[in-house]
Amino acid sequence: MKIFKKINIAIVGFGNIGSYFYKTLQKNKKTISIKTGKMPYVKYISAKNINKNRFVKLPKSKWVKNPMDLTLNKKIDVIVELIGGSEGIAKKLVFSALKNKKHVITANKDLIAKYGDQLAYIAEKNKVNLEYEAAVAGGIPIIKSMKEGLIANKISKIYGILNGTTNYILSTMENTGENFHEVLNKAIKLGFAESNPISDLNGSDAASKIKILSSLAFNKTISKNKILVEGIQNINLTDIFHAKSLGYKIKLLAISEVISGRLNERVHPCLVLNSSHIANINGVLNAIIVDGHPIGRSILQGEGAGPGPTSSALISDLCSVLRGNIKYPFGVSYFLRKKIIKFDTLKHSSSSYLRIEVKDLSGVLSSITKIFAKNKISIKNLIQVPDKKNKKASIAIITHKSLEKNFNNLLLNLTKNKFVLKKPTFIRIENI
């Protein structure tokens, strides 16, 4: 019988993800050993609350009170960080672990998005792995695909649905006719959303993820620039109804592309054609689309969160470490990654959807269309839905392509118009 070399692992953070990862690792230990030639062994575990009820029982000898002690322990080869957050103990732990030549595996997107460049430098210097497959899109192997499977490709654009919570909300609103707050409460009860889901709803979660993917796609340092980020809080059933009648669905997309040598990163709701692949990604699923040469278009989809998909990604990273596959954290050496100048968002061109609530009076439509013409925006489609009871009307408009700065001026002028009852809803259209 072959005896495999033992690799000692410490897990820091032992909530739902940590305990599920441990259980999955124990169940598949034999298979992993055969496939990697190394035996993974969880030697220590550290958590804020040791006495918390968990579905796995562990001997007291495995528990370590101070996680920082693990970074100095010579018996530990790999530290799996599952605390979360970009600051505090998570940051201290990962920095210290890499400095002390421990391999690090993490699911912490916020940490990687904020400090990934610094961490990559330390990892390369000390010839250890920094693995973070679980930080982006859960069980979808997008990080390895970017670093290995698509290594020969020149990427022109990467985009997709990177947040399962918002995708569940939007697709459920469309399918059931329930309003935003009804669906949000349902998502929280089902565990598809956190009790405080603000980072999901306002787009910041997806923004962290697209910054990581953008770095991999374009061999660049992680952007510190403020990028366009808009959430889904202001989208209501009326918008979803209008979009459907016009042949579209609404999705929260994260997009990164290089335009004329400048980087355009953005997160915002989009209208996408019903016939597009991404329009049919529903529920909590994520989808990532990569446009490149020579591959053309590559599509990856699957569950983007939860204990199962996250554990799958963590074990994939662990197997890379066990095989001795030491690689650059972002695909190329820290010293070869470049800075790319930010694209001026105001120069971005797109078609758009606008919903304008107006007084139901004679001459209102003419007044509105004149404002569009004044701001160099032409109208492609228009739907007017009167509300006689409340003496108002809802005007849904699809425009031809125009510059972002023109839309900004349009919205400002519309808001000031005496016939317009409230700030219009504005959603860009992505022809993908």
| Residues noted as catalytic | 209
Show the tokens assigned to 214: 């953008």
Q: List all residues 6 or more positions away from 398 whose beta carbon is below 8 Å from its beta carbon.
A: 246, 351, 352, 353, 379, 380, 381, 382, 429
The dihedral built from the CA positions of residue 301, 324, 30 and 305, taken in this order, carries a sign that is: negative
Task: Give the span between the Cα atoms of 151 and 49, in whole angstroms.
Answer: 42
Task: Give the span between the Cα atoms of 146 and 139, in whole angstroms.
Answer: 14
Strands 38-46 and 5-12 turn out to be parallel
Task: Give the span between the Cα atoms of 391 and 105, in whole angstroms.
Answer: 59
Asked whether 119 and 91 are in contact (CB, 8 A), the reply is no
The dihedral built from the CA positions of residue 361, 362, 367 and 370, taken in this order, carries a sign that is: positive
Residue type at 115 in one-letter notation: Y
CA–centroid distance for 300 within its chain: 14
Q: How far is CA 79 from CA 44, 49, 96, 248, 407, in A?
A: 10, 19, 11, 45, 49
Residue type at 308 in one-letter notation: G
